Structure 1
Amino acid sequence: MKKIILVFTAVILVLSLCGCSKQEDNSGIAERPYHEPTGATMEVDFSHAWKAEEIAMPDGFQPNCFYPTENAVIMNVYNINPQDDDVANSGVVYDIASGEMKLLESHGVPIGATETDEGFQILWNVSRYDETENTYLNTGSLVTYDKNFQEISSEDKSGLFEGAYPNFWYQIEDGRQLLCDSGRLYLYSADDTKIGQITGNLSGITSVFEGNGGQLYAFANWGDASIGEIDLDEMKVTLLHLEGEPDNPSNYAPAKDYDFYVTDDYHGLYGLKNGTAELLIDWVNSDVESYGDIFPLSDGSFLKIEPEYTPTRMFSTLLHLTKRTQEEIDNMKIISLAALTQRSELTYVLRKFNRQSDSCRIVLKDYEDKLSHSEGTWDNAINEFFNELISGTIPDILCLDGLDYLALSNKNMFEDWYPYMKNDPDFHEEEYLMNFFDSLTYQGRHERFGFQTYVTTNAVKSQYLPEGAITVQELAEVVDNMPEGMTVGGGADEPERVLHYLLDYADYIDLDNHTCRFNSPDFIKLLEIANSQPKSGLSADSKAWVNDKALLKYSSLHGNGILDLEYFFFKDTDYSFVGIPNSEKVGNGGIFDAASSPFLTMSADSLYKDEIWKFFKFCLSEEIQERAGYSMPIRLEAIQKYYEPYTDADYLSGGSWGDSYGSRSLPPATPEMIDRIIDYAKGISRVQFDNPKIIDIVEEETEMYFSGDQTAEKCAEMIQNRVSLYLSEQN
């Protein structure tokens, strides 16, 4: 096993983990000591990291699925953005020996292929709408091609499609045919006569393939992926429980040296043989998305379709996976990144960065197998990480998801990345939401780095409060004078949720000086406001805000959130963004959501800080920012593009959205609405508090208050004492 172990000095580790002496400056904030970086120490297994190279597709076409033959791979492809005269679906043939690819003349949608003496055959499916019958009718043709991919002949196969809606076709050596139709498998004779259905305990069948010994297997991918053995004599398919296969299997493929290739959602591709699964390809460190079809080539390499999703479209890429040579591995500059889990936003940018980076590679070490998915806890993964940290395992980059940033930062583990940005002549601050980065500072240092967010706030009818930040006392005055029958939150909100909407932890905690004020009148009043919310008995009422039955609507200002506020919750009424109440009216009261972006840190001991800054900057590039998914990007130009689809009636297709309030149709957003959100984002100065220890303390004590087991004053006192103790321990 090839392991890469970076340099480590034990003396420095002890100093950084046990704390170093600090000098106080005039502000009262401790000045961070300096120590010479000695190199991160994380042990990284690189033996299963393959090289992924994109294969160019014919212009406008994306790969969808494979139909392999012995000498060529046929792909069902689709045009991602067809114009009026363009072909929407077609087939591409990839010659395994030469790597040549050719777009075939379309005869519909290819659903299967087979080898012939002349070359190969493809079964094409054409679906047409019959206005007379008011339904879709399927017809098809079997087209024969020579070895140079030239079309020789075409045979009508309408009989095979009569009354069927097939998605996969497989021809058996004796001429009989298997057809997958709506998750069911049927056997046909060579002359297209239906023999009958292959029944059994495997449902949702999507394809068929031949194993090593000529045995036929059916693959099902409706829900959990599974595989079944086909018995044509008995007309039966039997679900197989393969000993040793990985958890969460996602795909199966034939293999020459194994019983099967099996892929899973988290780790990679395995060779399964005699009840043992051998990891062959590590998805993340091979720069490959776990989802998508994979096909083994005769030279030991693989073709893989990598799907990619955004809120506005879905597209896919064809990859060629080859095993790295030892020389390639030895010459790599390896940067280690530790994360408790394989978060999709993080693995995506890692894939993209590594594919284009010539100077270094970032390799992920995760603790996914330690997570208790069934129990929803991170405890085992966190314990494993800290055990390794104490024993001397330090990564170059750390993802903070699930970790106590405050405790780690106070041990001087992290570098301030801001000077690297300031000294980069190619980075232009005016192009970004710099207030987002400033909201992440601690003791004046930019240690945490994020690259996308949500904007969260409370909205209220303008007749009750004007736009802008509010104090707890201003909110209390409005609550005390609410019309009869009005509640603070919506009908479905309980006191715990209302407190979550109203509590700005940063207003009650001074992390720089390790003090808190949870025993203040403001916090006690906030508890009382939240507790005035009915605990049960009220159902969701979509018109509560319009009809003065609810005061505050807590909102995330993503695309759908804008439409909801404007056309649904506050329809035909003016509303204000008032944010989360705080004593000093900091910013405009809005909050950047902490959960929408993986927060990354640069190790103070890393020898590759310049390279890490290049990775951080790549996360802010146009390529990454315009693929921010459902979160808001940080790049201003990308923010405009993020909201553009919600101004397009064609994209919204009438704007039909469904949720707990039922389905509704909403018109598109206006440019003025988008400008309002962006201007609001520019005025935010705080990020959502994400210290798990302190949040747990508050939730435990307020649960006792809301259940009537203690007073608001006692609750505030208990939180004050427990959080004060925690903060003093961190100092």
Structure 2
Amino acid sequence: IAETIKIFDKATASYCVDVNDDGSFIVLSSYTDFVFEYDESGVVTNFEDYLENAELKFKLTGFDSSMNIISENEVEGLSDCFNKESSMLTGIYSYGENYIVDLVNGLVLVSKSGELLDFNNDEMNGVRLGKDSNGDILCTTFQGVGYMDNETLSQPSEIINTSDTAMISFYEGIVKGCGEYKAFMHSRQGIYGLTEDNKFVLVVDFGKSYIKTDDISVFASCKDGEFMAYSVASGKMSVYTVLPDDYNPERKIIDVVNINSGSSAIADRGVEFSRMNEEYEISITDLASYDNVKNDILKGEAPDVIVYMDSGIMYRFANMGGLVDLNKYIDSDIGLNRDELMPNVLEAYEYKGGLYGLPELFNVQMCLANSDYIGKENNILTYEQLYDFYEKRPEGMYLSYEMYFNTSAFSFFCLQSLNNWLDYKNYTCNFNSPEFVELLEFCRDVELKETAFGYGGEAEKEYMNEMLTALKTKKEMINFSDCFGVRGIISDLGQSGLDYSETTIMKYPGNSNVGTISAQDTYSVVANGDCNDGAWEFISYCLSEEQQGTYSIFGFNTLNKKCFETALDNFTQKGDTPKIHENVYNGVKYQYRGDLTPDEVQEYYDFVLSCTKLAYRDNGVDEICYDEYNRFIAGDITAQECAANIQSRMEIMLSEQS
């Protein structure tokens, strides 16, 4: 940059820019007279005051190509759409006769004179925008990518098909194209070009180029075949070129398929592994579903590794003979060994005498209760005990604040507790049992807590604060927690206002005293892949102490036992004085204990070790159960008919999969 020109006199909180082809540009800026105060370590000390009292103003400023101001307009009313905690000015674009603005939590339509015309924070919350080389606006949604209509803030009426198999997320960015591409899009896999006939082409493959996702924070096309990128993580600017067509790696390729997991960490690990390994190179493909992988295997195009979240995938592939038993590796000197891994997780993943998958992280399915009502002697409630505590609950106490839909109780007690009704190891189910019929009726009749989610303003704020403290105030009987680690339970209790000593920690209700874990990304070696040993070497790298050590800082439940125990130690009280943390939520300041005593840590560890079942996750099961349950609560069928229908349909599904 040859010269820096000051274009604003006031301190600017944030801004976004849209540049025209002739070099002129428009800037939308926010500014405030509020002055932040900092402590010695650089932490803002008056952020709560900022949230409550700071007045944000917004201005549209137009510049010609010589940086001369040619227009200035205040944008009235935009502060009402701007949430100081979650909104950002991430983009402004010419949009027909107006401008469209991306606030992260919604889209705003502003006239060129600064008039606020529309705001959509419902269906357009979390979308991303970008301009193609024709000046048209592309929008990423949860369904895919499409063009806006140049007039309204509605979702695109048509979604561009990314492909039949690839799960591509372009939330990282869309920029103007050049050459044969009208736009470029940054995803976890790489940089894609969008052709004039709306076809996506992968032009920079991050895995093959050894580029990590945090190597590129923002990017722009320089010329045909080159991209300039900036990395926030490294603070470096780089230029990337398109991979040559004749690229031919000399190392063996380990094909990794990521089935709908949504994790970018796998891609980064693939890059890191490829950078340091002399024998193997990782190629990662994201696929949307189990069926995509099954079809590839049936066609003889099996990957070497699959990564997935739904545990049902492991059981299906194992029954097909499609996965390698990892016991032969963890009992050898190759890579990870059994003693390095959490024993409860190994037991949970055991299937028909084999070990067909290993997770990176795991959650513990637990319920929290106020010990004044449900005593600590109850580390799990049978269904009869659950019904009894519910019937005898004090006036004003709800079963759970999370149960505000008529399907909520069914989701927690059935779909998140499938182990009580479904046995994947033997491919049997007992949904037609009297206990399940009774549970259906209980779920239907549970008193729902009216929610204020989405109301905004003081109503939502008051509801959220009431919900967080509901256990302490005895307005909630049970709080469900898919606990990711020791830090998670400390944080949950901190927000609730309860101390660990005042809390009963229980497994999900059921008639078995065995607790359940749910997995994050699970890794499996595909039996007829080209390189089983290389696949295991990559998995061992991903699940090693070196790679999992970072999770210890955040108190996560890791597969690696040493990292798990390090996390516990990090959150164990040292000496007689506990750590006291302070936080602000919804404008309310609260203090909480940031660690646990050694005895409490041991109690938590023992609880985790007692959780030796793997939670069943299967979209097909969910669809069957919801379909019949919705008919039941609508009054179309009885509880007995609902249970019988689920049983019948599940038996058919299990017979097809076994």
Query: 2:471–2:479: 8 Å Cα contact kept in structure 1?
Result: yes
1:584 alignment partner AA: S
C-alpha distance after superposition, 1:4-37 (max 9, x if no partner): xxxxxxxxxxxxxxxxxxxxxxxxxxxxxxxxxx
Alpha-carbon distance, 1:578 to partner = 1.5
**Structure 1 residue 726, shift from structure 2 partner:** 2.7
Partner of 1:611: 534
User: Cα gap change, 1:342/1:351 in structure 2, threshold over 3 Å: closer, same or farther?
Assistant: farther
Compare 266-275 and 552-561 and name the one that shifted more: 266-275
Q: Distance in 2 between matches of 1:675 and 1:321?
A: 50
Q: Counterparts of 1:627-638 in structure 2 under 5 Å?
A: 627-628=550-551, 632-638=557-563
* Secondary structure of 1:611's aligned partner: helix
Measure, in 2, the Cα distance between the counterparts of 1:361 and 1:557.
35
Which of 373, 385, 389 matches 1:478?
Answer: 389
Match of 1:396 in 2: 304
| Higher helix residue share | 2
Note the C-alpha offset of 1:226.
2.8
Letter in 1 for 2:343: M
Q: Does the Cα contact within 8 Å between 2:557 and 2:564 map onto a contact in 1?
A: yes
Letter in 1 for 2:186: D
Aligned to 1:725: 652
Mapped partners of 2:287, 2:219: distance in 1: 25
> What are the residue-to-residue correspondences of 1:236-251 with 2, within 5 Å?
239-241=135-137, 248=170, 250-251=173-174
State how far apart, in whole Å, the 1-side matches of 2:333 and 2:287 are: 34
C-alpha separation in 1, matches of 2:297 and 2:208 = 22
Partner of 2:324: 415
Cα distance change on mapping 1:323 and 1:666 into 2, 3 Å: same
Contact kept in structure 2, 1:187 and 1:198, CA below 8 Å: no
Alignment partner, residue 153 of structure 2? none
Q: Does 1:509 align with 2:422?
A: yes
Question: Residue 420 of structure 1: CA displacement?
Answer: 0.7
Other-structure match for 1:106: none
- Give the aligned residue type for 1:505: L
**Separation in structure 2 between the aligned mates of residue 653 and residue 227 of structure 1, nearest angstrom:** 44
**2:502 aligned to which of 550, 556, 574:** 574
Does the 8 A contact of 2:24 with 2:63 survive in 1?
A: yes
Contact 2:335 2:537 in 1 (8 A): no
1:148-167 equivalent positions in 2, closer than 5 A: 160-163=7-10, 165=12
Q: Find the aligned partners of 1:538 and 1:273 in 2 and give their Cα distance.
A: 46
Question: How has the CA–CA distance of structure 1 residues 483 and 605 changed in structure 2, closer, same or farther, with 3 Å as cutoff?
Answer: same
- Whole-Å separation in 2 of the counterparts to 1:697 and 1:175: 57
The aligned counterpart of 1:557 is 483
1:262 aligned partner: 184
1:684-719 per-residue CA deviation (whole Å, 9 max, x = no partner) reads 112221122233323333333334444433333333
Find the counterpart in structure 2 of residue 38 from structure 1: none
SS at match of 2:306: strand
**Per-residue deviation, 1:271:** 5.5
Matched AA of 1:264: H
CA distance in 2, matches of 1:491, 1:333: 49
Partner of 1:455, secondary structure, is strand
Find the aligned partners of 1:468 and 1:164 in 2 and give their Cα distance. 55
Counterpart of 2:218 (choices 286, 293, 316) is 293
Aligned to 1:363: 283
Q: Distance in 2 between matches of 1:162 and 1:523?
A: 68
CA offsets per residue over residues 337-366 of structure 1, 9 Å max, x none? 233447224333323323332211221233
One-letter identity of the residue aligned with 1:443: K
Residue 568 to residue 199, structure 1, CA distance change in 2 (3 Å): closer
SS at match of 1:614: helix
Q: Distance in 1 between matches of 2:256 and 2:330?
A: 20
Report whether the alignment pairs 1:524 with 2:443: no
Q: CA deviation at 1:730?
A: 3.0
Amino acid at match of 2:440: L
Q: Report if the CA contact (8 A) 2:572-2:601 is conserved.
A: no
Is 1:440–1:446's contact at 8 Å kept on the other side of the alignment?
yes
Question: What's the counterpart of residue 37 of structure 2?
Answer: none
Q: Helix, strand or coil for the counterpart of 2:230? A: strand
Contact 1:494 1:533 in 2 (8 A): no
Paired letter, 2:254 = I
Q: Deviations over 1:491-537 (max 9, x none)?
A: 74445322333343223233232222223343334334433411465
Out of 28, 44, 63, the residue aligned to residue 187 of structure 1 is: 63
Secondary structure of the 1:704 match is helix
Q: Is the 2:132–2:176 Cα contact (8 Å) retained in structure 1? A: no
Check 1:287–1:678 CA distance in 2 against 1; reply closer, same or farther (3 A cut).
farther
1:332 to 248, 251, 260: 251
Determine if contact 1:339/1:364 at 8 Å carries over to the other structure.
yes
Identity among equivalent pairs (%): 18
Residues 330 and 176 of structure 1: CA distance in aligned 2, closer, same or farther (over 3 Å)? closer
Q: State the secondary structure of the residue aligned to 1:458.
A: strand
Are the equivalent residues in 1 in contact too, given 2:259–2:306 (CA < 8 A)? no
Aligned to 1:126: none
AA aligned to 2:269 is V
Given residue 582 of structure 1, which amino acid in structure 2 is its aligned partner? G
Match for 1:283: what amino acid? F
2:595 pairs, out of 670, 675, 678, with: 670
Per-residue deviation at 1:413? 0.9
* Aligned CA distance change for structure 1 residues 458 and 259 (closer, same or farther; 3 Å): closer
> How far 1:284 moved relative to its partner?
4.6
Change (3 A) 1:421 1:479: same
Structure-1 separation of matches of 2:642 and 2:26: 68
TM-score, normalization: structure 2? 0.66
Using structure 1 for the length normalisation, give the TM-score: 0.61
Note the C-alpha offset of 1:422. 1.6
- Going from structure 1 to structure 2, the CA distance change for 1:162 and 1:535 (only over 3 Å counts) comes to closer
C-alpha distance in 1, partners of 2:64/2:324?
67
Q: Is the 8 A contact 1:185 1:205 kept in 2?
A: no
1:620 and 2:543 matched:
yes
The Cα shift of 1:265 comes to 3.2
- When residues 389 and 612 of structure 1 are mapped into structure 2, their CA distance, relative to the original with a 3 A threshold, is closer
In 2, the alpha carbon distance for the partners of 1:652 and 1:285 equals: 47
Q: 1:434 to 1:560 in 2, by over 3 A?
A: closer
Cα distance in 1, alignment partners of residues 307 and 397 from structure 2: 43
Q: Distance in 1 between matches of 2:303 and 2:636?
A: 45
Write the mapping of 1:423-438 to structure 2, written as runs, cut at 5 A.
423-424=332-333, 427-438=336-347
Q: Is the 8 A contact 2:190 2:204 kept in 1?
A: yes
Unaligned runs of 5+ in 2: 31-58, 76-87, 94-98, 105-127, 139-144, 148-159, 163-169, 453-462
SS at match of 1:415: coil
Q: CA deviation at 1:458?
A: 1.0
8 Å contact 1:220–1:227 — kept in the other structure? no
Greater Cα radius of gyration, structure 1 or 2: 1
Q: Mark the CA change 1:707 to 1:646 in structure 2 (over 3 Å): closer, same or farther.
A: farther
CA contact (8 A) 1:472 1:525 kept: no
Aligned length: 529
| Residue 82 (structure 2) aligns with | none
Alignment map for 1:646-657 (pairs within 5 Å) = 654-657=582-585
Q: Which residue in 2 is equivalent to 1:376?
A: none
Task: Find the aligned partners of 2:404 and 2:146 in 1 and give their Cα distance.
Answer: 46
- Aligned ranges for residues 69-108 of structure 1 at < 5 Å? none
Alignment of 1:437-456 (within 5 A): 437-456=346-365
User: What RMSD in Å do the two structures reach over aligned CA positions?
Assistant: 4.7
> 2:130, 2:321 → 1: CA distance?
48
Residue 296 to residue 497, structure 1, CA distance change in 2 (3 Å): closer
Instruction: After TM superposition, list the pairs within 5 Å mapping 1:198-237 onto structure 2.
Output: 223=104, 224-227=128-131
CA distance in 2, matches of 1:389, 1:531: 42
C-alpha change, 1:521 and 1:181, in structure 2 (3 Å) is closer
The answer to whether the 8 Å contact 1:339/1:401 transfers is no
Q: Does the aligned pair in 1 maintain the 2:582–2:591 contact within 8 Å?
A: yes
The verdict on how the C-alpha distance between 1:348 and 1:518 changes in structure 2, with shifts beyond 3 A counting, is same
CA distance in 1, matches of 2:655, 2:25: 73
1:219, 1:523 → 2: CA distance? Answer: 52
